[in-house]
């Protein structure tokens, strides 16, 4: 009798409505497993109940170097947020420069408007001594 062995993979659906969080180390482990011989992104995604597109996204981030910040458990900020904050910093620097210039102009105006002190000549009484 000829017996055949079949390998069956049971796929259990992830709980709907619950977002899972993966550490940077877990993401790297999934990607390393997907890159090993005989494995594919899709097979690893099925094994861990992930979307293949998520693994492809993580792989692209790793190739761009964006996953390096994840190793230090730093927050990842969208590029649009970075651009918005950079524009805000530029605007604040512009306003600071404007206020600094105004301050310098006002200092010069005070110097011009301030009455000059009279120098007392030797032998003449000064105003401070007279009442």
Query: In whole angstroms, what is the distance from residue 79 CA to residue 83 CA?
Result: 6
Same domain, 29 and 58: yes
Question: What CATH number did the domain enclosing 62 receive?
Answer: 1.10.10
Tens digit of each residue's pLDDT (9 = 90 or more) over 74-103? 666 777 888 899 999 999 999 999 999 999
Residue with the bigger pLDDT between 12 and 18: it is 18
Same domain, 61 and 88: no
Number of domains in the chain: 2
Same domain, 89 and 110: yes
Which residue range(s) make up the domain with 56?
20-76
Task: Specify if 1 maps to a domain.
Answer: no
Residue with the bigger pLDDT between 54 and 62: it is 54
Same domain, 25 and 53: yes
Task: Specify if 125 maps to a domain.
Answer: no
Query: In whole angstroms, what is the distance from residue 87 CA to residue 72 CA?
Result: 27
Task: Specify if 121 maps to a domain.
Answer: no
Same domain, 56 and 35: yes
Question: What is the predicted pLDDT for the residue at 127?
Answer: 60
Residues contacting residue 24 through CB under 8 Å, at least 6 positions apart: 67, 70, 71, 73
Question: What is the predicted pLDDT for the residue at 103?
Answer: 95
Answer whether residue 54 shows pLDDT above 80: yes
pTM as predicted? 0.41
Task: Specify if 47 maps to a domain.
Answer: yes
Question: What is the predicted pLDDT for the residue at 104?
Answer: 94
Same domain, 94 and 108: yes
Alpha helix (H) ranges present in the chain?
Answer: 24-35, 41-48, 52-64, 68-71, 79-113
Same domain, 81 and 70: no
Question: What is the predicted pLDDT for the residue at 62?
Answer: 80
Tens digit of each residue's pLDDT (9 = 90 or more) over 16-53? 566 778 888 888 888 899 888 888 888 999 888 888 99
């Amino acid at each position: 009798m000829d017996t055949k062995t079949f390998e069956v993979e049971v796929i259990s659906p992830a709980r709907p409505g619950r977002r899972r969080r993966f550490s940077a180390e877990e993401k790297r482990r999934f990607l390393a497993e997907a890159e090993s011989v005989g494995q594919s992104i899709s097979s690893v995604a099925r094994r861990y109940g992930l979307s293949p597109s998520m693994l492809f996204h993580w792989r692209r981030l790793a190739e761009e170097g964006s996953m390096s910040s994840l190793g230090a458990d730093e927050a990842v900020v969208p590029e649009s947020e970075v651009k918005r904050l950079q524009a805000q910093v530029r605007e604040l620097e512009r306003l600071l420069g404007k206020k600094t210039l105004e301050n310098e102009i006002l200092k010069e105006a005070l110097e011009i408007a301030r009455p000059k002190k009279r120098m007392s000549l030797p032998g003449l009484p000064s105003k401070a001594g007279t009442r």
